[in-house]
Structure 1
């Protein structure tokens, strides 16, 4: 099993062509102001500050603040931008790219960046002993990229096969310091580097901030990188902020309470729950927060079953008909209205209607139909054998399974509604609320029936989500990192995705991906119910925020965030 729950950024199934910028009721702002501290909440405790071994939401957040890539996908425009590499050229075959590193760039400890750091980063991410969760997102047709360095400022990247998104792949790889981490890598202890105790104050990064302190259960403190390379349009050095403090919150209730009290500026995982909107609208009307309506979410929560193991006593948990029955038994409109208070839309797969470029209307849909669900269940031998209204398997044991989910937020509420709706179909469900580390541990050990969780969207193109779609991917959560496809339908999706990423024409890519969505919807390794309408609130003192649908929704451009002149700081 992979070393970390790939719960972040890899289910990126959004659209590349939003028609307009999000609407906002932002108040008048002054120009950027240098200095000050921005305080954000962090919904879960970090397990490491090493993004190469930890793919959690907390690691994603600190990575956005402390690390940088050769190129970057702009989360607002979806354009590929030069970043650590100032320019590049491509060979006629479209597979070989020569990148020139930006001169004068240094790590936060003052050590200059060179092509040796890039080569080291690739060596680490592809190390088979490390099993980095980033590795599968940096392969084309299962093969690693070939990387060389003719000199200290030049990097040549060759793709092993045709790949339409090209260098967009490199947005997956933060460049790390060879001089600091090579000893641990050679000693076989890289997985322990930049941990919670040996990371703060010692990490050398290329992002705008460095982790300076960590207090377990309380906060992560980051300070300005004194050697950060970016400047604003006027030539002033970035970042504007002196510090960013990530306050660890026990759940979304605590986050909203802190934002309402003014003790934080924003929530790092950003989007509001429907029940919070009335409170935030009142705060907006009072001049305390800015509200932005970003649109329909592209990263819906998913219920997946453990398909990596067989349980002879409850083999029905691995059956396609069982999952299809659940899809019919769950009333999505009821979830939209009772849990999301109307601020969501029903969905049936990982690609939401907000995904205007890649969403397929022809993907299977499962309208609420309890009778059809019971017919499917009866077809696999699950019927009411004792007249109590609940289903039993062929041995007479009750049909029952557990759902692990994160407590204290909208996932737990939704899981409870699913529990009640499946009871009406004769299926007993136990909802088990846990914290994220416990869910990750149970997932990694395979000790679970099903998990209801969410994933962060961080890119638009489905070719950037191979870690989810391919059977070999670490984010193929129902059965990750398969040596070879376990099923014929997974093999077919592997084939289609490999064709899709190589196709030069967008129409061909869309056609192939529509077939992928159809196969996924028929086999339902993951069940999707609703996609929220995303609204984001920030304290009025926050400037430079450009909220987007893709995570990190606000902290994707941390170096240009600022606190407005004269605005009062959060009370901590």
Structure 2
């Protein structure tokens, strides 16, 4: 374990500073790798779409100013070669790499950076990134000092530093300015856009997209990174991404040698066979650590929702549900022993920010029933299930994602544990698009689902923590905080976002996690231990616990010969 972690960390550092391991004598030109996604991208425009597959494709075809090493979570340069900060933390001078060109051979300049900020803050574009890219309640102000220097000015100190910009793709002004000016940027680079119109600064170029089937990406001949020998990256000539909606079929393709890697991690039930194939020299397994993205349960707390069941929005219901679930048993059952119990949304995988003094809730069925009784939910007919004060059944419809075995298994455990305290739960599994549609419309009672974390720093995840956030899941987009505790979290999160002292930021965020635990707007039970798999001839893999686990360094991936 120690050797694997050390090698992965060193490899990541070498690769991202434009120094890959030894040049690939055994990886001749013409090599094609195959990967799989379970869902299709909804857009090729990361500025307006935040879905996991859109994010993954953006990693392949675009480049940011800075990025994060997914092993250490440290900020590392990308299009920004270097930067300096003023003493008050409000002015950043960013020097861009020279000689960088888009995939259509157009020079990259500071104007492209300014254009990207214009697009993010454009009201008609309605970018989900706009809310997160605010400091002191104000957008970042960008100006070009010269073609290779950008000055960023903020209304308040930038506590998280430039990591706030991590993985935000810099888009081509020459291709998209007209769409922005005409108010059509949200439609730009949709899935119907001809691939020839999509250009970027990433290692690959989209050459073909067949909805429901595959994406074909080819090597960007103008990509700006090189390895230690001076060879231009990426090593691969092509990357084919097949769309395989069924989890079982996706895993079988990898095990049979018909694909080289998956977008996600292996499920716990896949590991015994995967380890056998690894011993046989047919598969490579890579430890990516404890996951940062834990699925969670939440009830619909939107004002006016579920009027006929007001008890669904009571704190006591959430407290009782939390007391009902044995988190260690949940980890053992859902993740088959490949998971760890957690106390809240910040998992132990986030070493820098997880509140170590926050205890994991212990199950207590008797206390859970007492808590339900305090809001009038009692077993009035001795059938083991509680009824409301009016005598009606206290039933909950829980939505989850169909075809995702971990979420289906998790929802089943929740159903059983809540029944043990007298709550009747009806689990309804929906296809992902239908589930997201119900979530966005606010048409649900309870949901067991999850989201992708793009950074470990809390200032980069304000969309979840702030009451106005689009993924403040239980009650998103509030004009004013609906509760006093949400107002307090808003205040603390905005305070830590403009605090420069790391220790002070840590103290503030610890307090936020404790307030969250006291009010349990969302219930977290366990986080997975991540194992990612590749075919045996995939080399130079540097896995991490941030999405995408492998494709973050796709330019450095090599294909060698198998040992069979």
* TM-score relative to the length of structure 1: 0.91
Contact kept? 1:50, 1:59, Cα under 8 Å: yes
Matched with 1:376 is 371
Work out the CA distance in 2 between the residues paired with 1:342 and 1:24: 26
Does residue 293 (structure 1) correspond to residue 276 (structure 2)? The answer is: no
2:192 is paired with a residue whose SS is coil
Q: 2:436 aligns with which of 436, 440, 451?
A: 440
Matched with 1:451 is 447
Contact kept? 2:70, 2:543, Cα under 8 Å: no
Q: Output one character per residue of 1:382-403: Cα deviation in whole Å (capped at 9) or x when no partner.
A: 1123332211222222111222
Does residue 192 (structure 1) correspond to residue 196 (structure 2)? The answer is: no
Q: 1:64 aligns with which of 43, 59, 63?
A: 59
2:175 is paired with a residue whose SS is helix
Aligned length: 547
Structure-to-structure mapping, 1:72-91, within 5 angstroms: 72-91=67-86
Shift of 1:472: 1.9
Q: 1:135 aligns with which of 113, 130, 137?
A: 130
Does residue 487 (structure 1) correspond to residue 483 (structure 2)? The answer is: yes
Q: 2:145 aligns with which of 136, 147, 150?
A: 150
Q: Output one character per residue of 1:107-164: Cα deviation in whole Å (capped at 9) or x when no partner.
A: 1111111221111111110112222111122111322101111222221101221122
Shift of 1:171: 1.0
Work out the CA distance in 2 between the residues paired with 1:51 and 1:63: 6
2:391 is paired with a residue whose SS is coil
Q: Output one character per residue of 1:149-191: Cα deviation in whole Å (capped at 9) or x when no partner.
A: 1222221101221122211111142111111111211222211
Matched with 2:544 is 548
Shift of 1:19: 8.8
Work out the CA distance in 1 between the residues paired with 2:7 and 2:268: 17
Work out the CA distance in 2 between the residues paired with 1:119 and 1:104: 18
Contact kept? 1:22, 1:295, Cα under 8 Å: no
In structure 2, the CA distance between the partners of 1:567 and 1:193, relative to structure 1 (3 Å rule), is: farther
Work out the CA distance in 2 between the residues paired with 1:293 and 1:229: 29
5+ residue gaps, structure 2: 9-20
Which one scores higher on RCO, CA 8 angstroms, separation ≥ 6? 1
In structure 2, the CA distance between the partners of 1:253 and 1:566, relative to structure 1 (3 Å rule), is: closer
Contact kept? 1:23, 1:292, Cα under 8 Å: no
Work out the CA distance in 2 between the residues paired with 1:130 and 1:399: 43
Does residue 514 (structure 1) correspond to residue 510 (structure 2)? The answer is: yes
Contact kept? 1:134, 1:172, Cα under 8 Å: no
After superposition, the CA RMSD in angstroms is 2.1
Structure-to-structure mapping, 1:520-559, within 5 angstroms: 520-559=516-555
5+ residue gaps, structure 1: 1-17
Shift of 1:21: 5.7
Contact kept? 1:138, 1:172, Cα under 8 Å: no
Work out the CA distance in 2 between the residues paired with 1:450 and 1:127: 33
Matched with 1:7 is none
2:195 is paired with a residue whose SS is coil
Does residue 344 (structure 1) correspond to residue 321 (structure 2)? The answer is: no
Matched with 1:11 is none
Contact kept? 1:119, 1:148, Cα under 8 Å: yes
Shift of 1:258: 1.0
In structure 2, the CA distance between the partners of 1:309 and 1:263, relative to structure 1 (3 Å rule), is: farther
Work out the CA distance in 2 between the residues paired with 1:274 and 1:312: 40
Work out the CA distance in 1 between the residues paired with 2:63 and 2:563: 30
Shift of 1:507: 2.1
Q: Output one character per residue of 1:422-468: Cα deviation in whole Å (capped at 9) or x when no partner.
A: 11211111212122211211111111112211222332222221221
1:380 is paired with a residue whose SS is coil
Work out the CA distance in 2 between the residues paired with 1:50 and 1:156: 25
Work out the CA distance in 1 between the residues paired with 2:380 and 2:212: 49
Work out the CA distance in 1 between the residues paired with 2:289 and 2:429: 29
1:220 is paired with a residue whose SS is strand
* TM-score relative to the length of structure 2: 0.93
Shift of 1:24: 8.3
